[in-house]
Chains A and B, each alone.
Chain A
Amino acid sequence: MTHGKVSMKNRFLKYWQLYVFLIIPVLYIIIFAYIPMGGLQIAFKDFTGLKGIWGSDWVGLKHFKTFLNSYQFKRVFMNTIGLSFYQLIAGFPIPIILALGLNSVRSEKYKKLVQTVTYMPHFISVIVLVGIINTLFNPITGLYGTISELLFGVQPADIFGNPGAFKHLYVWSGIWQNCGWSSIIYIAALSSVDKELHEAAKVDGANRFQRVIHIDFQAIIPTAIILLIMNTGKIMTIGFEKVFLMQNSLNLSSSEIISTYVYKVGLVTGGGDFSYATAIGLFNSVINLILIILVNKISKKVSNTSLW
């Protein structure tokens, strides 16, 4: 026992310099990631500035119950999930198609050109992206108005005031921005496919399309599953910033999601109800965590692929 203790102590001593390196990053992560986690306790308290986070009174699940029973709950919850699923289903296959396509293009120049152009929009900021949407889809001054007038001879209705159009604008602008970027990881996976497999399949009489399905597509399935798990785990945390920037009073019925609601409850409405907003945020994170664990488990069982 003493021997073990001594050698343990020696081992730590041997590496003391490395721990010195780690002091700042660990302190940093404790302050900026774990202290806010500790702050989550106010979801179960009635926070008042006077008593502080630790001194405020416990109220149990009061805020969670209030949220679940509020008239906002169903709408905000369904909008969050609906927008996420739409994004997942529409956005997931396109990078795969793009990668498979790029992989079978034989002109290096053309491949490079398409790749460069398709992932350029990834670097545009969310403000500029929403600015572009607003500018292009403006029914009077934008491209949308021009095209509609050209085709139908009439100026279109204001698309930003139409709650039904919000989700399409949101999802497809996201695909526009990120399909090229998301395809990189699949292109990487495809580059590791053994050329001999293709040669062998060719000899067996498989045509190009069959080879893509049976060789290339098989090769990216593990990557696709990992990404699918990760994306499913993000179902509840759909990007606050873009939704918030695209919101207006007319499309609110379809654009209010949990995170924008948290912001409004916590930081806008008359000084803000920190406890209630934190409870809603926590509710969101917990569902998220459960989702990712669940999907990971299912995937492990079905396909033997998992995050951990």
Chain B
Amino acid sequence: MKRLNKHPKTTMSFDDKIYFGGVNIVLFIIFILVLYPVVYIVSSSFSSATAVMTGKVVLWPVDFSLEGYKAVMRYDKVFIGFRNTVFYTVVGTSFNIMLTMIGAYPLARKGLPGKGILMFIFSFTMIFTGGMIPTYMLVRSLGIMNTPLAMILPGALSVYNLIIARTFIQNSIPNELLEAAQLDGCNDFKYFFKIVLPLSKAIIAVLVLFYAVGHWNQYFKAFLYLRDPDIQPLQIVLRDILIANTTDPSMLGGSDADAEALEGLSNLLRYSLIVISSAPIICVYPFIQKYFDKGIMIGSLKG
């Protein structure tokens, strides 16, 4: 079998050759179309402001420079936003995992009375929600407006993730384990912490990734619920610079730079910011890709 696979060309018909040729061309086109904008942005971020402005950057960095990154480092708001985002991501994700796992475990247990009703209560929220305004009113009346809690509490439990975790526990932790533990006098709390959680490491890793990416990229809640700049996450700072197009000249180069240089620099700052804010996820991504795949596949199982 192995030998055959190693020399498939000898068995290829003319039709097959056309097919593989076509597939390779299509894949290559998609590959380039996805990759090119990324390469362009990274290259631009390492080029000089003038090279970017005059359209000299096509593929590789032109007049290699770190101006853009230096400008980012000088920009205090970016630092504050970064710090807040890290906080929301760590605290928020921990809370997410706790809620998800303590909800998923009982629902994975055989014979729990009322399980059907409970599942319905959870799943129904996936197809019908109160929507933007009633949720806003709830946050307001809970008194967590303009506090870090507004970033963590609304949406702290994703029912989709709950179902993924439940399916995982159901399929991968054998019931015999529970029976043996019960014979040894182990109660449910002990069983959950000593056996279920350690055996669920794989799915917890997946959930951490899903939730953490969500927190890292979260902007909408901050936009609706936070006013105070000191507690705003990085995405809000990014929005001001990347989309609303407002950069603070005093943070860029001070008063000694002329208007044109400032404009070039603020343009360059955008490229560098895009790279810096996405780098943490993009860099670890190849190492954790298989966990994401796993998460999607477990999620696609009907349970």
- Say which residue of A29, A104, A149, A184 sits within 8 Å of B55 (CB atoms): A149
Nearest opposing residue in chain A for B100, CB measure: A25
**B-side interface mostly:** helix
- Say which residue of A98, A102, A125, A292 sits within 8 Å of B216 (CB atoms): A125
A18: chain B residues within 8 A (beta carbon): 105-106, 109, 112, 188
B282 and A33 contacting across the interface, CB-CB below 8 Å: no
A28 and B242 contacting across the interface, CB-CB below 8 Å: no
Q: How big is the B interface, by class?
A: 35 or more
A15 and B112 contacting across the interface, CB-CB below 8 Å: yes
A245 and B243 contacting across the interface, CB-CB below 8 Å: yes
B134: chain A residues within 8 A (beta carbon): 35-40, 42, 278
B23 and A105 contacting across the interface, CB-CB below 8 Å: yes
- Say which residue of A105, A143, A208, A266 sits within 8 Å of B136 (CB atoms): A266
- Shortest Cβ distance from residue A305 to the other chain B in the assembled complex, whole angstroms: 11
B243 and A281 contacting across the interface, CB-CB below 8 Å: no
Distance, CA A38 to CA B286, complexed state (A): 44
With contact pairs A33-B125, A40-B134, A131-B274 given, residues A101 and B37 touching in the complex (Cβ less than 8 Å): no
Distance, CA A118 to CA B58, complexed state (A): 21
B189: chain A residues within 8 A (beta carbon): 17, 20
Distance, CA A264 to CA B72, complexed state (A): 33
- Chain A 20-37, CB-CB to B under 8 Å as 1, else 0, gives 111011101101111111
Distance, CA A135 to CA B278, complexed state (A): 15
For residue B64, CB closer than 8 A to chain A, the reply is no
Distance, CA A278 to CA B134, complexed state (A): 7
A208: chain B residues within 8 A (beta carbon): 15-16, 19-20
- Shortest Cβ distance from residue A9 to the other chain B in the assembled complex, whole angstroms: 10
B220: chain A residues within 8 A (beta carbon): 240-241
Distance, CA A32 to CA B281, complexed state (A): 29
With contact pairs A8-B113, A24-B99 given, residues A116 and B289 touching in the complex (Cβ less than 8 Å): yes
A176 and B37 contacting across the interface, CB-CB below 8 Å: yes
- Shortest Cβ distance from residue A237 to the other chain B in the assembled complex, whole angstroms: 9
For residue B91, CB closer than 8 A to chain A, the reply is no
List residues 227-250 of chain B with CB under 8 A from any CB of chain A.
235, 238-239, 242-243
With contact pairs A32-B138, A278-B131 given, residues A184 and B37 touching in the complex (Cβ less than 8 Å): no
B133 and A116 contacting across the interface, CB-CB below 8 Å: no
B296 and A267 contacting across the interface, CB-CB below 8 Å: no
Nearest opposing residue in chain A for B9, CB measure: A106
Distance, CA A31 to CA B141, complexed state (A): 12
A262 and B239 contacting across the interface, CB-CB below 8 Å: no
A118: chain B residues within 8 A (beta carbon): 30-31, 34
A146 and B137 contacting across the interface, CB-CB below 8 Å: no
B121 and A26 contacting across the interface, CB-CB below 8 Å: yes
A21 and B103 contacting across the interface, CB-CB below 8 Å: yes
Distance, CA A119 to CA B187, complexed state (A): 43
B102 and A25 contacting across the interface, CB-CB below 8 Å: yes
For residue A209, CB closer than 8 A to chain B, the reply is yes
A292: chain B residues within 8 A (beta carbon): 127
For residue A123, CB closer than 8 A to chain B, the reply is yes
A32 and B137 contacting across the interface, CB-CB below 8 Å: no
Distance, CA A306 to CA B24, complexed state (A): 34
For residue A282, CB closer than 8 A to chain B, the reply is yes
- Say which residue of B40, B278, B292 sits within 8 Å of A124 (CB atoms): B278
B79: chain A residues within 8 A (beta carbon): none
B235 and A125 contacting across the interface, CB-CB below 8 Å: yes
A/B interface sample: 8 pairs, CB < 8 A = A21-B105, A29-B157, A37-B129, A131-B274, A185-B300, A207-B19, A259-B132, A292-B127
